[in-house]
Amino acid sequence: MSRAGLIAAVALLAGGCADLLGIGAPGRDPADVDGSTTDAATDAAIDAGVCVAQTTMSCYDGPAGTMGVGQCTIGTRTCNGDGTAWGECVGQGAPAVERCGGLADATDENCDGSPSCTGAYVRVDAPAAASSEGIGRIGADAAGNHYLLGDYYQAFTFGGFALPPGEQGEIFLAKRTAGGTLAWARGLAGLGWQVPLDLLVAPDGSTTVVGLYTTTENVPWMIGSRPLSTANVGAPWMFIARFDPSGAPVWASTIEGVGPLDHMGEARAYLAAAPAGGVFVAVSFGDDANAFFYGPDGGPGYTQLDVFPDRTITLLRLSATGTLVDRFAFSSDGPLYAGGVGVDGSGNIIVAGTNHGAEIDLGVTADCPGGGDGFFLKLGPPPDYEPRFCNGLPGRPERILVDALGFTYATGSQLVGATLVPFVAKMTSAGGAAWSVIATGSGGGTLSDVAVDAAEHVVVAGTCSGGALDFNPGAAGGDVVAGTGDTTCTAKYTAAGAWLWSKTIASSSARAVTTLPFGNVLVAGRYGGVVDFGGGPVTSSGADMFLLELRP
């Protein structure tokens, strides 16, 4: 191909991409962006796939609908010296995560038309299905796609994807693109109960799920083509399964000894990324003297985990193929429940939980507090897992998030008198408290999840009930009212803990929260009856899932 032909082909490809994106680009008349005109010779040169040396054109690379809004402004491209290509778009203002509070509210950074952070309603997906279903966890990959982990009962059609029926409760896993389209949904149905516990999403979109299952027959439960052990019919087991970005199962491992069926609801499990594509699993069980780990796909052999009855938290490290690498465990003389796990940028591991026994002595400067209090334990990287500290939390944790700098964000409930009330806390890498908020008022509840956006704003969500709650104690603005039944409660704070907004939604229960790239918030859970999420009444067919999007 001649040099001129190659230039024309490259320019034609660039122009085609610009057509798809709807922005100014090489090969496009500047009038397409800002309404300016060019003479016939320039138009002919552009149409031929070249530009006039040192001429300029307007450009904008941001999402459609944001140009000219807030800080999003047009930039300029310049043709190079020999007229063969346009340069980068220089001087444009692109959307960024919204920064909230004080002077930051004067600028509309995400270019949505509002400089303030109010948590205003955007949209809700709340299908009324024949089955009963809800969302329990949300995770995101590096491209901004979101993955939903939830449960359903009987047959369920999710966005055109028919999920298989089971005998009792089932698990689903689904992918939602950054644009909001459902890419795929997979149902994990079996011959007994399946209960989702946690979800871990890798940057490439592969996912790891941990949950519980039972069987009613002495046949393996299958996750796709991956068999799980079923040596003890009717008793609950725990599974950990890896799926590729398309939702296909890669491996599945199991733990026997979760406890008897009537203690199934006491089992806890949380996931965090481990080195070399592996996964950490922090588990505590309901009531059993021994637990056994079985390798991927029901393979032969097992490892005894030496668990005391409901008095041990065990941290397992699995390889990228689902085999057990090593483990660390600690026990109490009373009930001990896991409340989360995370890893900081230096590879240290944070394990949170609630200890109803006496203090736990791990040989560090402070013992893990007991008497029903929450704690967070910092361990060095594997394989040594050297304890660094074990300090108290303001309440009993339901979920933690650990950032690269080692800050630990915890949510859950605190016992005030005879009422459990919501709390959120930010703890430092050294084990101290950066800030915490314990809601006050006549109501109660717990915060089930926490998310932190790129500007370090903290968003929490959970379930409240029973009356008024103040998520900004001692100051104005944080008051909300929870109904007598389950009520979604959600709130947002700055990196320093200053309250930004809080709200409730009646007849619903939030279990998960996350943030979108420019600061919008997703809250997910279950609702029942007629509910107004902010855009008008929505009616369920019983108990259905919801995915609510709010502005920053």
Q: Is the pLDDT of residue 266 over 70?
A: yes
Do the domain assignments include residue 71?
A: yes
Do the domain assignments include residue 116?
A: no
Find, among 99, 35, 102, the residue nearest to 71 by Cα: 99
pLDDT tens figures, 475-511? 888 889 888 899 999 999 999 999 999 999 999 999 9
CA distances from 496 to 12, 103, 499, 546 (A): 50, 15, 9, 30
Do the domain assignments include residue 122?
A: no
pLDDT for 121 equals: 97
Do the domain assignments include residue 518?
A: no
- Alpha helices by DSSP H, listed for 370-472, are none
Q: Are strands 226-228 and 237-243 parallel, antiparallel or unpaired?
A: unpaired
Question: Quick check: helix, strand or coil at residue 41?
Answer: helix
pLDDT for 6 equals: 38
Q: How many domains does the chain divide into?
A: 1
Q: Are strands 458-465 and 121-125 parallel, antiparallel or unpaired?
A: unpaired
pLDDT tens figures, 123-143? 999 987 767 899 999 999 999
Question: Percent of the chain, pLDDT > 70?
Answer: 84
C-alpha–C-alpha distance, residues 251 and 243, integer Å: 7
pLDDT tens figures, 427-452? 999 999 999 999 999 999 999 999 99
Q: Is the pLDDT of residue 93 over 80?
A: yes
What is this structure's pTM? 0.87
pLDDT tens figures, 283-331? 998 765 578 898 887 666 788 887 776 788 999 999 999 999 999 999 8
Considering Cα of 269, then 347, then 329, then 326, what sign does the dihedral take? positive
Do the domain assignments include residue 33?
A: yes
In degrees and rounded to multiples of 5, residue 96 shows phi and psi of -140, 175
C-alpha–C-alpha distance, residues 470 and 491, integer Å: 10
pLDDT for 159 equals: 87
- Pick the range with the lowest mean pLDDT from 53-57, 254-258, 538-542: 254-258
Do the domain assignments include residue 9?
A: yes
Q: What single letter denotes the amino acid at residue 253?
A: S
Give me the chain's average pLDDT, please.
Answer: 86
pLDDT for 324 equals: 95
Q: Is the pLDDT of residue 36 over 80?
A: no
Asked if 520 contacts 551 with a C-beta cutoff of 8 angstroms, the reply is: yes
C-alpha–C-alpha distance, residues 221 and 215, integer Å: 7
pLDDT band at residue 4, thresholds of 50, 70 and 90?
very low
Do the domain assignments include residue 138?
A: no
CA distances from 491 to 120, 150, 192, 340, 523 (A): 12, 23, 37, 20, 11
Show the domain range for 19. 3-78
pLDDT band at residue 42, thresholds of 50, 70 and 90?
low
pLDDT for 305 equals: 84
Q: Is the pLDDT of residue 92 over 60?
A: yes
pLDDT band at residue 219, thresholds of 50, 70 and 90?
low
Do the domain assignments include residue 43?
A: yes
Following CA atoms 288, 289, 294, 300 in sequence, which dihedral angle do they give, to the nearest 10 degrees?
A: -130
